[in-house]
Amino acid sequence: MDKIAVFPGSFDPFTIGHESVVRRAMPLFEKIIIAIGYNAEKQTFISLENRLRLISDVFKNDPKIEVTQFESLTVDFCHEVNAGYLLRGLRTAADFEYERAIGQVNKAMRPEIESVFLLTAPEYTPVNSTIVRDILRHRGDASKFLPKGIDISKYI
């Protein structure tokens, strides 16, 4: 069976930290599906369509990467797309506690799916979507925290 991983998140917006996790995981998997968890009732800063477009632009030269959306439980989505692995990034102790609980519950629901965690590269530890959103809302320059070459004004 192919080694397929799902990297789920809201990616509002997709940051240089997210990109780093995906690129570091590429040698481990045959395919990585970057999947935007979508909740029709939740208001987001960047529309679903534009988040999909931005992430696809970042990985346009990487055939191992697929970008999509899902509305179901994350483990059910993994099952649907035949993914045996759930990829997540770990920045801080707070991330760890949160991910531990979710990872263990996911394991109880679908034992065949393994969660795989990559420690954030130290330089990206402070990068998070909430802060990047605040910078953008106040018209600051967030380019340092976004994937190289991405002009965020094309997606907002």
Which residue numbers are catalytic?
18, 42, 91, 129
Q: Which stretch binds ligand ADP (CB under 6 A): 9-17, 23-31, 57-65, 103-111?
A: 9-17
Binding to ligand ADP, residues 106-145 (CB under 6 A): 120, 124, 127-129
Q: Count CB-CB contacts under 10 A for residue 104.
A: 11
Q: Is 25:39 a contact under the CB 8 Å cutoff?
A: no
Q: Per rule CB under 6 A, is residue 103 in the interface with ligand ADP?
A: no
Is residue 149 helix, strand or coil?
Answer: coil
Q: Which residue is nearest to ligand ADP (CB)?
A: 17
Sorted by sequence, the CB contacts under 8 Å of residue 90 that are 6+ apart come out as: 96, 99, 117, 118, 119, 120
Q: Which residues bind ligand ADP (CB under 6 A)?
A: 9-11, 15, 17-18, 20-21, 88-89, 91, 95, 120, 124, 127-129
